[in-house]
Structure 1
Amino acid sequence: MPKIGFIGFGEAAYNIVKGLKGEGASDITAFDKFWNIEPQASMIKKRAEDAGIVLSTSFGEMIEESDFIFSAVSANLAIPLAHESAPYLKKGKYYIDMNAASPMTKETVCEIVLKTNACFVDAAVMGPIPTYKHKVPISVCGNGAKVFMEVFSKYGMDLTYMGEIAGSSSASKMFRSIFMKGFVVLLLETIIAAHTYKVEDDVLLSIQKTLEEGTFHEMINNLLTRGVIHSQRREHEMDEVITTLKGLGVDHIMSEATKHKLKWCTDMGFKDYFQGIPPADYHMILSAMDELSSKKE
């Protein structure tokens, strides 16, 4: 039975711990710096009681008594906490950084941990923890990732191995966020603009029909490969969109960004490179980008 410790016992740690306890993991402790500071202390104690774990009052003792130490705080604390944890880490311990930090931050944390001879795991959460609890999809990498998967897969965790290089998992999460966060605000700009003419439902229905044409891969492949070929025409079309939004007094920052990216496609010369014919696969765009970029250097 692994000895598990959590640094930080906020919403994320609480839900994961509750899930692990339900799967039979019994030796779990947590330390939160607000354990005796109100108003946070009351909530932390309530969560600990509900999850059925004991709160530690000593940061160092919690780490020393744990085999697997989860850092579940916030991105800005990832590096300071790694430094603070280092004196208590040693060979045989696994330090799992679950913070939504950049790959560069995870690489720095990894360096700190490896100097102690402990193993490091970069764990990037790919979904809402309150919804899935311990079963939330998590991408893991680092020199301790394989062992971590072997141990915690038995407790129902949904883990995907991304290799031994620290930062790969968090890079994947960061780049996924470009779409997941960007898609939300793009939709928001769309329906706000459409609402000025009370056509938001019609616009969304039209978008739905387009997105449901074929499989997901077929859809994105078609959008990308045709998009880079017709970027100049669409760039001019976005000028009309922006003019319309300005006239309506609607914020148009996402439309401006769309025009900017379309201009980048035009300036790269994708249309000439592919002789005006959409490539068969979007990976060909990436290869063309590398080739065209090297010629411009």
Structure 2
Amino acid sequence: MVTSIDSIGIIGFGEVGAIIGQDLVAQGVRVVAFDRLIEDPERRAALQEKARTCGVILVESLERAIDNVPLIISAVTAGCALEVARSVAARRPQGQLFMDINSVSPRTKLLASEAIEDCGGNYIDAAVMAPVPLQRLKTPILLGGTQAPALADALQLLGFNARAFSDKVGAASAVKMCRSVMIKGLEALTTECLAAARQYGVEQPVLESLHKSFPSMGWDANRPHYLISRVAEHGRRRAEEMIEVAKTVEDVGIPARMSEAIAVVQAGWVDAMDEAEIQYTDKEPFDWRSLVDALYGKHVDPQRKP
């Protein structure tokens, strides 16, 4: 049973991994990280600089990242989550805690759990319930598994907003996945709604109508910029997550029509940006109108014949 954590290994040093690592290093925790992008010569230098800025020890193999640490945090993309769990299991993580914070279906978490625990490790299903950049370690996290209460106590001492949700693996992730139908769906709906409204030159009355119907959501302020920016910046990753959401829905006999469509919209938006050679960072400060104009041009005359 874990009582304190003085070192951790992070697999996946993207946005979330870097934030967790930096905030823990600031508290004196030794953080070692591995990201497979270290193998890409074009990305290696930037990854090393990010690790240096965060105070994190960046290593060149998964083995070195997980060696002699009580806690391993997996923070990769949804499509890689099970592969990473099985790779860690192959290294025989005797007594180590494996905290899987990836957004995948309960069934995928169960398969990952079987791999880790069959090889002597302790698996923790972790569901991150809000965007990490906004609240950092204070982001709500639900934990599942037999070791969830003990890990929750240890994480809280480090400033995490984590709580034990269930002793069963998959329950916490079910909350996250079902929530994502709504959250990622709202992002996808907003991109399609406002991109079309912009083409007709009626985005302002559309936003005014949305604000009148839902005055607390900020449609008259930053909400549209925020929702569309999430797609522009993370659409590829969100599409992977929505594929896992579709599995979550289908595994209980519900047709996943909306989840599948959301995955297509999220990925399609980023595909359009790639085709137009537009990077998210090219649009800072982010304004959804300028991105729509760059992708689709100025608004059209709705009476023009196609």
Q: Is the 8 A contact 1:64 1:89 kept in 2?
A: no
Q: 1:74 to 1:199 in 2, by over 3 A?
A: closer
SS in 2 for 1:6: strand
Letter in 2 for 1:21: V
Q: 1:42 to 1:97 in 2, by over 3 A?
A: same
What's 2:23 paired with?
A: 19
SS in 2 for 1:96: strand
CA deviations over 1:214-248 (Å, ceiling 9, x no partner)? xxxxxxxxxxxxxxxxxxxxxxxxxxxxxxxxxxx
Structure 1 CA distance, aligned partners of 2:105 and 2:188?
22
Structure 2 CA distance, aligned partners of 1:156 and 1:185?
33
Deviation at 1:197, TM superposition (A): 6.5
What's 2:68 paired with?
A: 65
What's 2:103 paired with?
A: 100
Structure 2 CA distance, aligned partners of 1:169 and 1:124?
6
Residue segments in structure 1 that go unaligned for 5+ positions in a row: 214-252, 258-297
What's 2:6 paired with?
A: 2
Q: Is the 8 A contact 2:149 2:163 kept in 1?
A: no
What's 1:210 paired with?
A: 213
Q: TM-score, normalised by structure 2?
A: 0.63
Q: 1:171 to 1:87 in 2, by over 3 A?
A: same
In the alignment, does 2:54 pair up with 1:51? yes
In the alignment, does 2:155 pair up with 1:152? yes
SS in 2 for 1:39: helix
Residue segments in structure 2 that go unaligned for 5+ positions in a row: 217-256, 262-306
Structure 2 CA distance, aligned partners of 1:110 and 1:180?
26
Q: Is the 8 A contact 2:10 2:74 kept in 1?
A: yes
Moved more, 53-62 or 13-22: 53-62
Percent identity over the alignment is 32
Letter in 2 for 1:130: P
Counting only pairs closer than 5 Å after superposition, residues 1-297 of structure 1 correspond to structure 2 as 1-22=5-26, 24-192=27-195, 199-212=202-215
Q: 1:25 to 1:101 in 2, by over 3 A?
A: farther
Letter in 2 for 1:164: D
Q: Is the 8 A contact 1:18 1:133 kept in 2?
A: no
CA deviations over 1:103-137 (Å, ceiling 9, x no partner)? 21111001111112321111222222233332222
Q: Is the 8 A contact 1:122 1:170 kept in 2?
A: yes
CA deviations over 1:74-121 (Å, ceiling 9, x no partner)? 112212221211133444310011222222111100111111232111
CA deviations over 1:38-73 (Å, ceiling 9, x no partner)? 112112211111111222234223323111001111
Structure 1 CA distance, aligned partners of 2:198 and 2:38?
48
Give the count of matched residue pairs. 215
SS in 1 for 2:41: coil
Letter in 1 for 2:153: E
Q: Is the 8 A contact 1:35 1:44 kept in 2?
A: yes
Letter in 2 for 1:12: V
Deviation at 1:25, TM superposition (A): 3.7
Q: Is the 8 A contact 1:2 1:68 kept in 2?
A: no
Structure 1 CA distance, aligned partners of 2:109 and 2:44?
29
Q: 1:195 to 1:6 in 2, by over 3 A?
A: closer
Deviation at 1:198, TM superposition (A): 5.0
Q: 1:197 to 1:31 in 2, by over 3 A?
A: closer
Q: Is the 8 A contact 1:5 1:62 kept in 2?
A: yes
Letter in 1 for 2:109: K
CA deviations over 1:128-165 (Å, ceiling 9, x no partner)? 22333322222221222222211111121122432011
Of the two, which has the highest radius of gyration? 1
SS in 2 for 1:165: coil
